[in-house]
Chain A
Amino acid sequence: MTESADIAIVGAGAAGLAFAWKVAAPGLKVVVLEAGQPVDQRRAPSLDRDWELALQTRYNANPNIRQGPADYPVDDSDSDIRPAIFSAVGGSTVRWGAHFPRFRPSDFRTASLDGVGRDWPISYADLAPWYDLNDRMMATAGLAGDPGNPPRAPRPCPPLPLCPATRRLAKGFDRLGWHWWPSDAAIRSTADGARAACNNCGPCGVGCPRHARASADIAYLDAARARGVEVRAGATVTGLTVKGGAVTGLRYADAGGAHDLACAEVVLAGNALGTARLLHGTLDHPLLGKGLMMHPTAIVTGLFEDDLKSWRGPFAASLVSQEFYETDTARGFTRGFQMQALRGQGPLTTALGGYGLPLAWGRAHAPAFTQGFGRSLSLTVTCDDLAEDGNRIEMHPTRRDRHGLPVPRLIYRVGENSLKMLAYGMARAGEALCAAGAGQITVNPLSRNAGFHLMGTARMGTDAAKSLADPHGRVHGLVNLSVVDASVFVTAAAVNPTPTLQAIALRSADAMQARLGLVRKETA
């Protein structure tokens, strides 16, 4: 007899676990299927001397290099940017820097305001209550009063500290009269229960043994299980079954073989690549996979003469500048970018180039290391990407993974608007670092490894001809199939999408509860 679930969620990452926790209700069987395994962050590589080697191997962000048991290949031969995704309970948040900004109100209205892209069918105000709820669950650190963003509820934790290098950068921004603000971060700056306060060790990307840095598993897994959610790790969903305009269930494979699961509702939260793989063959819509947006990112690094010991503090969560976030057509492009400070790195990563090219080998090597280590600070230039016509996720016509699923093809070229924005932004980042006192500036004009934000390939909207899903992520034409990851994004904004995709997941979960007649007491 086929097992059944009321709600099956594909993917135990940022969106999937948030959705599961929110939708759970007494008597409801909610099953989350995750191809990856749990990660014991209490034993993170940052406790080992060779932690920097882990970044190249089992914590490598690129699945084509990592080649873990749960990874599937991604054909990136036609992409300017390589994929950076992680398969685990907790998803890519296990491997992230926990920078946690919200989209701005204008990000939801780019067509009305700037004549580019499309307007979302929802607004910032629509999402705000779920942003707030998610801040509480993830335990966001930050400071109220940012003039770059709308007023909002206080964060659960005060902002993370600056270090001597980022303090100097802040002064540089002040000298130029530009905006800066301490980063919103999904990192506890104060202890609470089992989560200790951040101790500024630096490499958040290999997991946090203190659980100070949130990931979806740390923030949502136990809470979801307490509500009766079942998470099955090592379970790869291999297909959906559809009958008469509805999904009847799914197939998945685990160590025990192949299984069928009949489902009243199926929710896809496997990131844009994983979701596109499952929608392929299930849904016949001309927009499926089209309009892929990433965040083209340049990295500008400044070297300072004095020793700043710039490795101290979370590598990606210190301060940002959103001075150039909104559109100013005099700059020669539409929309804008964020500059985000990145701290110095460990010795090996510094030698391997950090955010740019490796240090030269040979007699010049030792002096170059001495001049650079602990004295560098970088700024990203992260662009609001427009949905270009040719950028898309397709399925490879012949290549299959170990489960017989098609290998996804990432087809992506940086568009003209983003190229202009990158050029302008690199110049501004260089100015800021010089104003901070950096003597030597180096530029990585496009981080090839920055494929961590994949958005827009099943975008939401009210018109079934122009969108894949409705404003709550329900796929048009399939009444019980939803998408709640960044596939449904309509625009990319210029910041990390995780808070936004989690807010969408929480909001969609509440909508599903209401639709199913299940009402939990607490609301957003």
Chain B
Amino acid sequence: MTYPLLPALLDTLLPGDGADWPAAGAHGVAARMDDLAAGAPGGSEALAAVLEALPADFESRPPEDRETLLRRIDADDPDRFARVVTAAYNAYYTDPAVRDVIERLTGYENRPPQPLGYDLPPFDESLLDAVKARGPIWRAVPEE
């Protein structure tokens, strides 16, 4: 399904920061969001309903107005709107270019957790010296 206002909706939900983070609609995640919404219970219906509630000139309105409008729609039916937000986040945060941004800003590598995993040093038992020094804190129970 093609929704003309979906990029503007996405740009309002995830506008980025004008520097590192791209705006979701301009970045082009609309089609993937539509797909992911369709894969969730009630997702497509929620997306269609929210888009239907938008005025025809939504795209041309200032960002503050668009945000105010969406907050009103959110308040009308929070569960429905939450499905749309989830689909938007799903599409945005699994986008390879967005993951590149995350890697650059945080060091979280743009790869699956496996097979590489992450290195951590072995457990250092000396960290427990203070805990051990306190002695047992469990309650003994007389056995029958």
Interchain CA distance A334-B99 in the complex, whole Å: 47
Residue A47 is within 8 A (CB to CB) of chain B in the complex: yes
The answer to whether A366 and B17 touch (CB under 8 A), given A106-B141, A160-B123, A347-B102, is: yes
Instruction: Known contacts A160-B123, A202-B113; decide if A181 and B128 are in contact (CB<8 Å).
Output: yes
Q: Are B134 and A162 in contact (CB under 8 A)?
A: no
The distance from the CB of B21 to the nearest CB of chain A, in whole angstroms, is: 4
B21 to chain A: closest residue by CB = A366
Is A53 touching B94 in the complex (CB atoms < 8 A)?
yes
B123 engages A47 (CB within 8 Å)? no
Q: A52-B94, A161-B122, A362-B67 are in contact. Are A210 and B114 (CB under 8 A)?
A: yes
**A residues less than 8 Å from B144 (CB atoms):** 123
Complex-state Cα separation, A291 to B115, whole angstroms: 44
A361 to B15, CA, bound (A): 9
Find out whether the CB atom of A352 lies under 8 angstroms from the CB atom of B86.
Answer: yes
Question: In the complex, how many angstroms separate the beta carbon of B71 from the nearest chain A beta carbon?
Answer: 8
A48 surroundings in chain B (CB, below 8 A): 112
If A150-B138, A160-B123, A358-B89 touch, does A363 touch B132 (CB 8 Å cutoff)? no
Q: Is A99 positioned at the interface, with any CB of B under 8 Å from its CB? A: no
Q: Are B125 and A373 in contact (CB under 8 A)?
A: no
Q: Which of A20-28, A270-278, A305-313 contacts B (4 or more CB under 8 A)?
A: A305-313
Q: Which residue of A lies closest to B39 (CB)?
A: A57
Q: Does B62 contact A (CB under 8 A)?
A: no
Contacts A53-B94, A307-B107, A370-B105 hold; do A161 and B67 have CB atoms under 8 A apart? no
- In the assembled complex, the Cα of A347 lies from the Cα of B110 at a distance in Å of 10
Count chain B residues whose beta carbon lies closer than 8 angstroms to a beta carbon of A: 61
Q: Is the interface of A mostly helix, strand, loop or mixed?
A: loop
- For residue B12, CB closer than 8 A to chain A, the reply is yes
Contact status B121-A348, CB under 8 Å: no
- The reply on A251 being an interface residue by CB < 8 A is no
Q: How far is the CA of A44 from the CA of B15 in the complex (A)?
A: 33
B93 to chain A: which residues have CB within 8 Å?
52, 347-348, 351
Q: Are B106 and A362 in contact (CB under 8 A)?
A: no
Which of B16, B130, B141 is close to A124, meaning CB atoms less than 8 Å apart? Answer: B141
Instruction: Given A326-B139, A347-B102, A352-B86, check contact A361 B14 (CB 8 Å).
Output: yes
Task: Kindly provide the distance from the CB of B28 to the nearest chain A CB, expressed in whole angstroms.
Answer: 17
A127 at the B interface (CB under 8 A): no
- B85 and A358 within 8 A (CB): yes
Inter-chain contacts of A373 with B (CB < 8 A): 102, 106, 108
What CA separation (Å) do A57 and B26 show in the bound complex?
Answer: 27
User: Is the CB of B120 closer than 8 A to any CB of chain A?
Assistant: yes
B63-A363 in contact (CB<8A): yes
A346 to B110, CA, bound (A): 11
Known: A53-B94, A113-B139. A158 touches B132 (CB 8 A): no
Which residues of chain B are within 8 angstroms of A209 by Cβ–Cβ distance?
Answer: 114-115
User: Known contacts A351-B89, A365-B14: does B123 contact A159 (CB below 8 Å)?
Assistant: yes
CA distance A167 to B10 in the complex (A): 39
Q: A48-B112, A161-B120, A362-B12 are in contact. Are A147 and B132 (CB under 8 A)?
A: yes
Given contacts A326-B138, A362-B67, A367-B17, contact A199 B107 (CB under 8 A): no
Q: Which of A149-203 contact B (CB under 8 A)?
A: 149-150, 158-163, 167, 170, 173-174, 177, 179-182, 198-203
B39 lies within 8 A of A147 (CB): no
Say whether, besides A53-B90, A167-B127, A365-B14, A104 and B138 are in contact (CB < 8 Å).
yes
Q: How far, in Å, is B102 (CB) from chain A's closest CB?
A: 5
**Are the CB atoms of A363 and B40 closer together than 8 Å?**
no
Q: Which of A57, A150, A363 has the most CB of B within 10 A?
A: A363
How far is it, in angstroms, between the C-alpha of A323 and the C-alpha of B137 when the chains are bound?
Answer: 8
Instruction: State the CA gap A60–B141 with chains docked (Å).
Output: 40
Chain A nearest CB, measured from B115 CB (Å):
7
Q: Could you tell me if A47 and B122 are in contact, using CB atoms closer than 8 angstroms?
A: no
A46 contacts chain B at the CB level, 8 A cutoff? yes
Nearest opposing residue in chain A for B93, CB measure: A348
- Cβ A44 vs Cβ B120 within 8 A: no
Number of A residues with CB within 8 Å of any CB on chain B: 76
Interface string of A93-136 (1 = CB under 8 A from B): 00000000000111011001100000000011100000000000
Which of the residues A109, A307, A362 comes within 8 Å of B15, measured between beta carbons? Answer: A362
Look across to chain A and name the residue whose beta carbon is closest to the beta carbon of B20. Answer: A366
CB distance from B75 to the nearest CB of A (A): 13
Point out the residues of chain B lying under 8 angstroms from A57, CB to CB. 39-40
Check if B57 is an interface residue, CB within 8 A of chain A.
no
Residues of A within 8 A of B39 (CB): 57
A145: interface (CB < 8 Å):
yes
| Nearest-CB residue, chain B, relative to A164 | B120
- Of the residues B90, B128, B141, contact of A113 by C-beta under 8 Å: B141
Report yes or no: A312 in contact with B120, Cβ–Cβ below 8 A.
yes
A423 adjacent to chain B (CB < 8 Å): no
Residues of B within 8 A of A143 (CB): 123, 125, 128
Q: Which of B20, B36, B106, B135 has the most CB of A within 10 A?
A: B106
Q: Is A200 a contact partner of B119 (Cβ separation < 8 A)?
A: yes
Residues on B close to A: CB < 8 A?
12-17, 20-21, 36, 39-41, 63, 67, 70, 82, 85-86, 88-90, 92-94, 96, 99, 102, 105-108, 111-125, 127-128, 130-132, 134-141, 143-144
User: Given A57-B40, A158-B122, A351-B93, 19 more contacts at CB 8 Å?
Assistant: A46-B113, A48-B112, A49-B96, A53-B90, A112-B141, A123-B144, A125-B143, A147-B136, A161-B121, A179-B134, A181-B128, A309-B108, A312-B120, A347-B93, A347-B108, A362-B13, A362-B15, A373-B106, A373-B108
A-B complex: 6 closest residue pairs judged by Cβ atoms: A199-B117, A201-B113, A348-B93, A161-B120, A105-B141, A312-B118
